[in-house]
Structure 1
Amino acid sequence: MNRKEKKRPGTVFYVSFSIIAILVCWGAFFPDNLSNTSNTAMNWMNKYFSWFYMIATTIFVLACLYLAIGPYRNIKLGKQDSEPRYSYFSWLGLLFATGMGVGLVFWGVAEPVLHYVNPPPGYQAETTAAAEAALKYSVFHWALQPWGVFAIIGLTMAFFKFRKNRPGLISHAFYPLIGERANGTLGKVINIFSTIATAIGVATTFGLSAMQVSGGISEVFGTPNNQISQLIIIAVITAMFITSLLSGVDKGMRYLSTSNIIIAGILMVLVLFLGPTAFLFDSFVTVTGQYIGEYLSLSLSLSPYADGSWRGQWTIFFWAWVIAWGPYVGTFIARISRGRTIKEFVMGVLFVPALLGIVWFSIMGGTGLDMQVSGAIDIASQAQQNEELAFFLMLGELPLGLILNILGILLISIFFITSADSASYVLSVISSKGVLNPNKLVKLAWGFCISITAAVLLLSGGLEALRAIAILAALPFTVIVLVMIVSLIKGLKEEL
């Protein structure tokens, strides 16, 4: 097979694209039917499989810890003389650009204030205990567990791609277990499944991000926050991320992600010192101690004797959503991690992002909570209707609020671009037989697929229902990731 033929899309591309088109049409023409079907399935999943998600995500983190300190820690993701392509700072920037950047901005203020007025089981709303629990559970949802999922997938794919010279496909992460079937029907099914989950998950997040950018611009400049403005934003962002996508990871994506981590750092420092500084330092120390001290309790608690709806709406929802994003984020992390040791990889992908997540929520969420508790502004009542506004409402109440909000809009916009950019790249890799430099037409096809899906479902009201479909896809994929751990360890044993 020549190089040109390798870059051509195969069965995975055509089957995945067709199934996604069917789901989009379902959401566009029959949004209520899709919503009812997905909600019924979601309730069933929460009722019978919450325990499975809690155990699985904890296993992912523990497996990462074992790999970082165990006998395989010094094995390189590549040949023994290979060196990392990106500086540590650029690497971290790319991790956030593709991973949790959009989510941190979207939920950084909204989640803690919503937990304060509607707390987990065992807490009374709008009390001191509820405020502490609000920040603790927000940190829990965005620290080790999600990055544990990404780390396992990324590490496994990087090992088999760069150390074993296998194609950069999810299916080949199972080569030690299924052998040449990774190239056959079974392998194609795994890759199709991964592609569909990724495309749907990213498209729905693309739509939600458009809503947040529109809400932020509306708060700052008084423009209408409606479907027309959201569609205009999608069109502008699409043009920008397509330009970045075609320029490649080493150019557009790299520079955008590096600039964004700088903007995020500046914004955090400004909020820290313009907001209730001493209170935020206290919050950081307190929530860090609580998170470390109660980690296993938080990770394995489901409150079986109480109403489980809160954990279903928040914790289980987040775990399923993160796992649905796993193929996309893990594949991209693998792409940028060649030459790093397993220990270095786990430290960079698991612990550093977790720490930054704690800092982000302590500063942004802590400031929002302080405003809510003190009565300076009722963020929660507006966040209950439009979660995307909470971040900008908080920034607007601080000194230099206009400047902070402009930085916030810039931050979410660049995260918006880099997430769509990296997702289109990953979809192109998975659907093009694993080549790391897929055909530009395939990249364009996936880029426009994401944008059109988001636009159509925003208009029809089917966005949330399609997101539920992606979350449901996470259930079988959780089993796939657990088996992936077994495959990775079997492959690593051959290196000793």
Structure 2
Amino acid sequence: MRSENGLFKGLNPTVTIGSKVIVIAFVIFCAVLPEQAGDIFQDISASVLNNAKWFYLGLVTAVLGFLLYLMVSRFGHIRLGKDDERPEFSFISWVSMLFSGGMGIGLIFWSVAEPMWHYAGNPFSEGMTDAAAGMAMRLTFFHWGLHPWAIFIIVALALAYFSYRKELPLTLRSILYPFIGDRIYGPIGHTVDILTVAITAFGVSQSLGLGVIQMNSGLKSVFGMEISIGIQLTMIAVIMLLAIVSVMSGVGRGIRRLSEWNMLLSVVIVAIVLAIGPTRYILNILLESTGDYAGNLISMSLWSDANADSGWQNLWTAFYWPWWMTWAPFVGMFIARISRGRTIRELIGGALIVPTLITFIWMSVFGGSALFVEQQARHVHETAVVDGVVAAAKFDGGAVLQATQEDTTLALFTLFDALDPGALGSVLSILAVLLLATYFITSADSGTLVLCTLDSVGSPEPPRAIRVIWGLVIGCIAGALLYAGGLKTIQTASIIAGLPISIFILVMTLSLYRTLRREPMAAAMLPPQVRPDDEALDYHSGKPVPRELSTIDLDA
């Protein structure tokens, strides 16, 4: 399956060529016919969201419940590797890479913008009120909390288990082994990997394109630099060159060090905003929103807007879940790549709970500060007096909300100006642009590494030449779509891709549970009379023994 010589040495020629044909054809279609492509994908995605919303909501909630069960069950102690293997990376480095590869970019982009949109209007409260502020944080926590990480982790856990425990290739085809056996090395496996590569390439490219737009907005806010396609294309070129250098040095050096830098810079920015911002309000809203989220988790998870059917959820929750699913192959494989040697309990607990808590802190600091600024602006408006009469004009929002509605990329930088219109606000904007750049580099090189790993049939150290090629291809895709205005089109198309991925996630969940039940170490922990299989397992050797001989005292 992997070529041993020639041009494709170390690679799977079928996946390498097939994926690039799909990617290039799609990019050409979006670039040449952006309006037609947008209309087609918009119609299909709207139909998918309207008719499959219940499936998305139920599946993601079920996956989260399954992972929590695995974490506390007898399966939790199973190690993702040999029984005596230990993790490759320290806990701090591991969490840093989790955060950088998973949500670092999105959190910067939406940390202010999403609470502002929910504050302006949501189905559960009147817009721009105290109740709307609390609901805005609850909804933001929900969309960026346990559920998206559950989507990433189920893919990561299945990949890590079948690859490190069962010694199958580190590719998504391996997850199908319990159902189709060695046929994963044939056309079915090739198809799964080709689609995974294509979806990953689109996701990374779109993230890069959207990111440079926000960076351009930040540079305009600080230095007055114009917003232009030329500047954005230059940014893409520089970022991808740095990403290629990083990915050439491997996970243990380039990606790990950049991720640690990301976390350090993130802590610095959070500390500054916490110090100069409404500290008491931020800490209160962090505590209150966390409790609000926990108390309403089940109802929010299963709420489908069945009666009103207002369409709001299609723009948010039912949009987010398939959107996260399109990222699941990329993020899941990257998490699996850095998680060898950890137990199932460590992977789920560390990758599900720790990043969620970090996300809550981040959203509370930035989203909470923005809400405080808006609340203050609303109170000033309500108490304004003109010629002795309370102003009757409708409140249209403060500076942050208006900037968000004008251009989402301006939200964060407008907040910094509102907190400190002087030098410190400019410093925060510069630090945010720098953080965006390093997060983009980390996402680009981790995405490139995943693409190369898939092309090389799961090799943890893919050929260096393919790393350079994919780095250049990702940059070209992002630049072409940005130039042609096709980023919105690819975003809409990604929602469509979420449907087959959701079905695959369901299959991998069943495949993983089916195989875990036959895991010798896990099954040996059960009393003989409740073992699930027709055969029991010897406690010491893990080998099957006849049922009538399996009444040995396991504590002996």
Counterpart check, 1:381 vs 2:402: yes
Q: Which residue of 2 aligns with 1:87?
A: 90
> What is the deviation of 1:71?
1.3
Deviates more, 1:246-255 or 1:415-424: 246-255
- Map 1:231-310 to 2 at 5 A: 231-310=233-312
The amino acid of 2:272's aligned partner reads L
The amino acid of 1:448's aligned partner reads L
> What is the deviation of 1:9?
3.7
Q: CA–CA distance in 1 between the matches of 2:434 and 2:124?
A: 39
> What is the deviation of 1:456?
0.9
Counterpart check, 1:149 vs 2:118: no
Gaps of 5+ in 2: 379-397, 521-556
> What is the deviation of 1:385?
2.9
The amino acid of 1:458's aligned partner reads L
RMSD of equivalent CA atoms? 1.4
Q: Which residue of 1 aligns with 2:479?
A: 455
Pairing partner for 1:479 from 503, 515, 518? 503
The amino acid of 1:388's aligned partner reads T
The amino acid of 1:57's aligned partner reads V
Deviations 1:33-76 (A, max 9, x none): 01101110111011101111111110111111011011100000
- Map 1:380-459 to 2 at 5 A: 380-399=401-420, 400-459=424-483
User: 1:201, 1:325 within 8 Å by CA — same for their partners in 2?
Assistant: yes
- Map 1:53-452 to 2 at 5 A: 53-119=56-122, 121-375=123-377, 377-399=398-420, 400-452=424-476
Q: CA–CA distance in 1 between the matches of 2:246 and 2:227?
A: 27
Q: What secondary structure does 1:435 align onto? A: coil
> What is the deviation of 1:168?
0.5
Q: CA–CA distance in 1 between the matches of 2:251 and 2:353?
A: 24
Q: CA–CA distance in 1 between the matches of 2:3 and 2:313?
A: 51
> What is the deviation of 1:171?
0.6
Larger Rg: 2
The amino acid of 1:11's aligned partner reads T
Q: CA–CA distance in 1 between the matches of 2:133 and 2:165?
A: 47
The amino acid of 1:76's aligned partner reads R
The amino acid of 2:434's aligned partner reads L
> What is the deviation of 1:404?
1.3
TM score, norm. by length of structure 1: 0.97
User: 1:6, 1:433 within 8 Å by CA — same for their partners in 2?
Assistant: no
Q: CA–CA distance in 2 between the matches of 1:285 and 1:263?
A: 24
> What is the deviation of 1:3?
5.9
> What is the deviation of 1:130?
1.2
Q: CA–CA distance in 1 between the matches of 2:106 and 2:507?
A: 27
Q: Which residue of 2 aligns with 1:465?
A: 489
The amino acid of 1:478's aligned partner reads S
The amino acid of 2:245's aligned partner reads T
Identity across matched positions, percent: 37
Deviates more, 1:26-35 or 1:225-234: 225-234
Q: CA–CA distance in 1 between the matches of 2:244 and 2:377?
A: 44
The amino acid of 1:244's aligned partner reads S
The amino acid of 1:291's aligned partner reads Y
Deviates more, 1:485-494 or 1:171-180: 485-494
Q: Which residue of 1 aligns with 2:546?
A: none
Deviations 1:103-124 (A, max 9, x none): 00100001001111132x1322
The amino acid of 2:296's aligned partner reads E
Q: What secondary structure does 2:226 align onto? A: coil
Q: What secondary structure does 2:28 align onto? A: helix
Q: Which residue of 2 aligns with 1:41?
A: 44
Where relative contact order (Cα < 8 A, 6+ residues apart) is larger, the structure is: 1
Structure whose residues are more often helix by fraction: 1
Q: What secondary structure does 1:125 align onto? A: coil
Q: What secondary structure does 1:478 align onto? A: helix
The amino acid of 1:447's aligned partner reads G
Q: CA–CA distance in 1 between the matches of 2:499 and 2:406?
A: 29
Deviations 1:283-337 (A, max 9, x none): 0111101100000111100111224321111111111111000000000100000
Gaps of 5+ in 1: none
